[in-house]
A and B are shown apart, each in its own frame.
Chain A
């Protein structure tokens, strides 16, 4: 059974960089798309971007100038960096697997941006 686990700081200062890592267990990271999706408290879901195991990426245009994703196949991990954060970036961040659908999800991690 594939499992995903997000890790990273739960508190980030405004204007700094949010960095999260997703560790995949129970299966290989190779030959799949891996995604970051976020959800502000009490609100809907936003697809941040996706990365293929080869390293090719697609970013949401609304965040493209601030987002970088990377993958480390040797560690079965992929990562998200979001720079110049503001309070609007406060959300639960999920990592998930899937090319177009997200069939496996991490439990989510709350990241709060402080001023």
Chain B
């Protein structure tokens, strides 16, 4: 099973700041990595798939990069609604797995 490690666990930032979230895989997942946003009491929402493709309706301030074992989700300028937990997920090998999450909180 591929293990995804996300860092940091918590990111404390102010609105308007840039957020950089990391996801590292225990083995190569090629470009088969997605990012999700989850707010309290809600289901996760797909943001990015195949490492760098924005899902339908996702604002341009969200971008993804990386391949192999190291990936990054960048939020260029945090909006108030962006404070949430973010998960990465791989679909390279079954079972599909998620990282442990990064919480982006208001500083």
Binding site for B on A (CB under 8 A): 44-47, 58, 60-62, 94, 96, 98-103, 105-108
> CA–CA, A100 to B95, complex, Å?
10
Shortest C-beta distance, B45 to chain A (Å), equals: 8
User: What are 30 A-B interface contacts by the 8 Å CB criterion?
Assistant: A44-B87, A44-B98, A44-B100, A45-B87, A45-B89, A45-B98, A46-B98, A47-B95, A58-B94, A60-B95, A61-B1, A61-B95, A94-B44, A98-B46, A99-B91, A100-B32, A100-B49, A100-B91, A100-B96, A101-B34, A101-B49, A101-B91, A102-B36, A102-B44, A102-B46, A103-B46, A103-B49, A107-B42, A107-B43, A108-B43
> CA–CA, A99 to B1, complex, Å?
18
Minimum-distance CB pairs A-B, first 3: A100-B91, A105-B43, A60-B95
Q: Contact between A103 and B98 (Cβ–Cβ < 8 Å)?
A: no
Shortest C-beta distance, B24 to chain A (Å), equals: 15
Shortest C-beta distance, A71 to chain B (Å), equals: 19
> CA–CA, A90 to B56, complex, Å?
32
